[in-house]
Amino acid sequence: MNPAVESRTRMAIACGGTGGHLFPGLAVAEQLEQRGCAVTLLISPKDIDQQAVRAAKDMEIVTLPAVGLTRKQVVSFACGFVRAYRTAQRTFQACPPQAVLAMGGFTSAPPLMVAKRLGARTFLHESNSIPGRANRWLSRVVDQGFVGFPSAAGRLSHAPVSVTGTPVRRQFQPRDAGSCRAALGLDPARPVVLVMGGSQGARGLNQLVQRSLPLLSRVAPHWQWLHLAGAAGAEEVGETYASLQLSAAVHGFFGDMELALGAATAAVSRAGASSLAELAAVRVPAVLVPYPAATDNHQFHNARAFAETGAARLLEQRGASAEDLARLLVELMQDSDARARAQAALGQWHAPQAAENIAEAMVQATHLPAQPAADATPDCAAKSRLGGFLPKVARSARNLF
């Protein structure tokens, strides 16, 4: 290893699994690099993670086994947890970090627990209004928590919590719509509807938009559509636009989200916290259609918080009609006053210093007296004998349901 790199303060960010965990983590990583830190990103094998980190050329990338938790796959989760724990252990023993940040999701749990055992400072960030299972669990062992929504603070009662907002990457800011449209091959003068279902696409959202298109093609045939449909839905969605002779660019995965948001007049979106933070940063009014199967219905609570301040319109997927979506979308697309009010309300949800504040807290913590190394996994056999750890992880996982 380069001695100059080896001597730098080393930070690790566990942020794999979904774009909602990954992109805020990347925003913090950028700020840590600006402060002279060497950064390790721990991500999942998913395509969204692997594609998104290609631009992180100066960071160490470590891929952990997927460890998603479902009610029917608790034992598989425990096996994946142990594999991820061992991978993180090898990584951190080779290059011990001074601090580790977990961005949520169970991909972040094993590395944080290894870091705690090795005496590193430990942090977590919760983007959603309702904290996820992993962060509720990890709040018992971290030194400090950060949250995007004030309502989440009281649900992480085991750790000191600061309300920072959700970090967004620095390229997300209001842009000239015409220039963004031209860069995407769209007509700079015509309004654009952006449809985005999150990093994995969204079948239910795609279908709702498709049902509304015959009506909207009559009401507003001049609109342009930029539809991020997910790999599985892109072909079918594209055929729907073509059959109605609408001007549309349909993508499975789209990397230049700052351009997509900059081009948009309004959006139809899921309500993941990272997507909401990016909408707020670029000031894009949206009809929010929360994913109805999200854990603890957290997307609904995220969307409701935005809607109650006038920053967005809320439409629940269950029972939503094509007419409902068309009505809300026409209001945002064609009423400039309604759009201006929503944009003003979005300003209160944008936290431009979130990534900077989290990075600064991590750096400052490394200047405090070192913590004694501690076993953050007290049920684990001494000296990392993980054979007996697997059933204990499985039992703990069952208790989360």
The pLDDT, as a whole number, for residue 70 is: 59
Q: What are phi and psi of 225, to 5 degrees?
A: -125, 130
Give the pair of three-digit tokens for residue 271: 């309500």
Domains of the chain (ranges plus CATH)?
3-167+351-399 (3.40.50.2000), 177-349 (3.40.50.2000)
The pLDDT, as a whole number, for residue 54 is: 81
Query: How many of the other CB atoms lie within 10 Å of CB of 353?
Result: 13
pLDDT tens digit at each of 401 positions of the chain: 444 445 689 999 999 777 788 899 999 999 999 999 999 999 988 877 888 788 777 899 999 986 566 566 677 777 888 899 999 999 999 999 999 999 987 788 899 999 999 999 999 999 999 998 888 888 989 999 999 999 999 888 778 999 999 999 999 999 999 999 999 999 999 999 999 987 555 899 999 999 999 999 999 999 999 999 988 889 999 999 999 999 999 998 888 999 999 999 999 999 999 999 999 999 999 999 999 988 889 999 999 999 999 999 999 999 899 999 999 999 999 999 999 999 999 999 999 999 999 999 999 999 866 565 554 443 333 334 444 444 445 455 445 44
Task: Please state the length of the chain.
Answer: 401
The pLDDT, as a whole number, for residue 27 is: 95
CB 210 within 8 A of CB 240: yes
Which of 121, 115, 157 is CA-nearest to residue 376?
A: 115
How far apart CA 396 and CA 401 sit, in angstroms, is 10
Q: Is 16 exposed, middle or buried (0-12, 13-18, 19+ CB in 10 A)?
A: buried
In the chain, % helix, strand, coil (3-state, to 5) comes to 45, 15, 40
Close Cβ partners of 217 (under 8 Å, ≥ 6 residues apart)? 244, 245, 246
Give the pair of three-digit tokens for residue 377: 């996994």
- DSSP secondary structure code for residue 66 in this structure: P
How far apart CA 199 and CA 325 sit, in angstroms, is 22
Query: How many of the other CB atoms lie within 10 Å of CB of 334?
Result: 15
Q: Are strands 10-14 and 121-126 parallel, antiparallel or unpaired?
A: unpaired
How far apart CA 274 and CA 128 sit, in angstroms, is 8
The pLDDT, as a whole number, for residue 124 is: 96
The pLDDT, as a whole number, for residue 381 is: 36
Per the DSSP assignment, residues forming a β-bridge with 122 are 100
